[in-house]
Structure formats: C-alpha cells, structure tokens
Structure 1
Amino acid sequence: MGKIYENQTITQGTLLEAGMYGVEYFECTIERCNLFEQQLNNCIFSNCTFKDCDLSMCKLNNTQMNDIRFENCKLMGVDFSRCPGFLFEVNFIDCILDFCSFEKLKMANTSFRKCSMKGVDLVGTQLQNSLFHQVNLEEAIFTNTNLKEANLSTAYNFTISPTQNNIKKAVFSENNLSGLLHEFGISIV
C-alpha cells in the first residue's frame, strides 16, 4: 500500500501529491476535488465524506468503500460494481449518479437523497430497507433487484417490474404507482 491519511481534510493538491494508487484514507473529508476520469484503483476509503467533488467516469477497480458519504458530488458513469463487496457501504445526498453501475452489490440500508439516478444499473443489487428520497430513477435498470422494505414513496420516473424484482413490503405513493404497472399495460388516470 501507499500513503495513509487519517482524520484529515483532503483537497485537490493533497490528492494529486499522494498519487491515486493504493492510498488509504481513514475518517477523512475529501473536498472540492476534480477526479474526472482518474484511476483510484486499489485504494481504501473508510468512514470518509466526499463533498463537492467530481468523480465522474473515475475507475474504482478493487477500491474499498467502507461507510462513505457523498454530498453534492457528480459521479456520472462510475462502476461501483468494481469495488469489493465486503464492507461496501455508501450513502448519497444531492448527487448526480447518472449511468452508474451498482450491479450485484449488497447495499442494504443505503440512503439516496435528492439524487439523479438516470440510467443506473441496479441489476441483481441488494437494496432492501434502502431509502430513495426525491430520486429521479428515469431509465434505471431494475432486474432481480431486492427492494424488500425499501422506501420509494418520493422517487419518480421509475419503471420497476413487480414480477422480476422483490418489492415485498416496499413503500410507494399513489403518485408513483404507474411505474409498477407499466409492464401490464395498465394506465392510471
């Protein structure tokens, strides 16, 4: 492993100085960093917060994300499925997650608040007890997704097949039921 940072505020200059391969960050705040298309391979992020960062199209091959909070970040096209599943825990507030992949990840109890998740790949993802608060799920891909007891009451623009996904005890509002009935050709007026 490379350098280790603990209990620090990391800015663009610090990140570039440390390099982006094999670095460990524990209980750090990473602020205002432009990591567009960067390689963050074989890193460890544990109990960290990313604020106002652009991580769009960055590579996370074998990068651990343990209890990570993203606030007001742009993460378009990030393939989180490349992260090891062991201890994988992330939460998002006011983030752009369009075209990200969370395929087959175990993400129970994940919180997505006021996020854009257009075209997100959630195939085989374990999202039981997760919260989708004011989330745009336009063209998000739900197949074999576990949404048991998830709260999608304020989510919108989604199409979720009740026959191809586990939605047992999930919470929806009357306003977004059409996203569940699309495959049946049923219209709600």
Structure 2
Amino acid sequence: MDNDYFEDLDIDPAYTKAHELPAAHYDYCRFKGLNLEQANLAGFKFTDCSFVDCNLSLANLQGCSFQDVKFQNCKLLGLHFEQCNAFNLSFSFQDCQLNHSSFYQLKLKKTGWINCKMQEVDFEGCDLSQADFSGSDLMLSNFQFCQLEKADFRTAVNFSIDPEANKIKGAKFSLSGLPGLLQKYQLSIQG
C-alpha cells in the first residue's frame, strides 16, 4: 500500500496508537472514537469516509478535502470549514456539535445538519439551497446574504433569519419558527 493512500480501513484509537495518522488520501475509511482535537489536517483528503464519535475541535483544515464525508456524533467546535479545499466539498452531519464553527461563503447545496448543536455558527454568504437543518439548534448563528431556497427549518430551533437579507423562496418553516423570521421587527408574538 502506498504511504499516501489508504482505502477501506477502520481507524480507531487502537489503530492510531500503533500508527501515526499521516497526511494522506483516505478513501472509504471509517474513523471511530478518535481524538483529533487541534490536529493538523492540512492537505488531508477524505473521500466517502465516515467519522463517528470523533473530536476534531479546533483542527487545522487548511486545504483539507472532504468529499461525501459523513460526521455522526462528532465534536467539531471552532472549525473553519471555509479553509477546506472547495472542489467537490460535500459532507453531512448528524447529532454533532459545531458551535463556533464557520462555513463562510461556501456552496453547500443539499447539505444535512440533522439534530446538531450549531450555536454561533457563521453561514454568511453561503449557498444553502435545499439544506436540511432538522432538529438543529441554531442559536446566534449568522445567516446573512445566504441562498436558503427550499432549505428546511421546520424543526430547527433558535434561528434568526432576516428575510430581507437572504433569499428564502420556497424555504420551509413551521408556525413555531415564525418568530425567528420576524425577530428584527421586535414584535411580541404569542399563542
């Protein structure tokens, strides 16, 4: 096996005790239970990989490539996803913590953030068309100049979205989410 290419591996804490996680292209690999907090992932490439129960908080993502990557029950605090390689950038998140992370100006059509804690996340200038925020907590997250067409916010909570500063045609909201759309008007909505 080539030193800079790994395919179809299960990488867990036992594996990383015996092997250092080298900067490489990982294809169809499964990462489970790893603590990669503050890790330097610059230049790494992950294609069709999954991360389960991992901590990547404050990792360096400069030039890192995520293509069809799934994150489940991961801690991803303070990450700057806008520093990733934008070519074919695609991922999904389920039951993850992404507080204080940034997706500034990324094209993230159809991305799913399901049941995630996403407080104070920066989405400014993002294309989030058809994105799914089901069950996610978006308290103090920044949605400015976003394309939110057909995005699903029906079960998301604590969001504040200015319809005048974003494109929201066809976006889905529940009645309980209306205060998040009208917050800037400082209305008292009851019932």
Same fold (TM over 0.5): yes
1:42 CA drift (Å): 0.2
User: What is the aligned partner in structure 2 of residue 102 from structure 1?
Assistant: 103
Matched, 1:123 2:124: yes
Partners in 2 of 1:31 and 1:117 — Cα distance?
22
2:94 match = 93
Q: Is the 8 A contact 2:78 2:100 kept in 1?
A: yes
Q: TM-score, normalised by structure 1?
A: 0.95
What is residue 139 of structure 2 aligned with on the other side?
A: 138
Alignment: residue pair count: 188
Amino acid at match of 1:127: L
- Residue 36 (1) aligns with residue 37 (2): yes
Provide the C-alpha distance between the structure 2 equivalents of 1:11 and 1:25, rounded to a whole number of angstroms. 14
SS in 1 for 2:130: coil
Distance 2:145 2:157 in 1: 20
Q: Kindly report which structure 2 residues correspond to 1:25-174, keeping only aligned pairs within 5 A, or say none.
A: 25-174=26-175
The answer to whether the 8 A contact 2:4-2:22 is kept is no
- The alignment's TM-score, normalised by the length of structure 2, stands at 0.94
The question of whether the paired residues in 2 share the 8 Å contact of 1:126 and 1:147 is answered with yes
> Equivalent residue of 1:133, what SS?
coil
Q: Gaps (5+ residues) in structure 2?
A: none
Look up the SS of the partner of 1:175 in the other structure. helix
Query: Which whole-Å CA distance do the structure 2 matches of 1:168 and 1:187 have between them?
Result: 25
Shift of 1:13: 4.7
Counterpart CA distance in 2 for 1:72 and 1:149 is 26
Q: What letter corresponds to residue 28 of structure 1 in structure 2?
A: C
* 1:29 to partner: Cα distance: 0.5
- Per the TM alignment, residue 151 of structure 1 is displaced from its structure 2 partner at its CA by 0.5
Q: Which amino acid aligns with 1:84?
A: N
Please state whether the residue corresponding to 2:133 is helix, strand or coil.
strand
Distance 2:22 2:100 in 1: 23
Q: 1: distance between equivalents of 2:113 and 2:121?
A: 13
Summarize the Cα distance change of 1:45–1:15 in structure 2 as closer, same or farther, 3 Å threshold.
farther
Q: 1:165 to 1:15 in 2, by over 3 A?
A: farther
User: RMSD of the alignment, in Å?
Assistant: 1.3
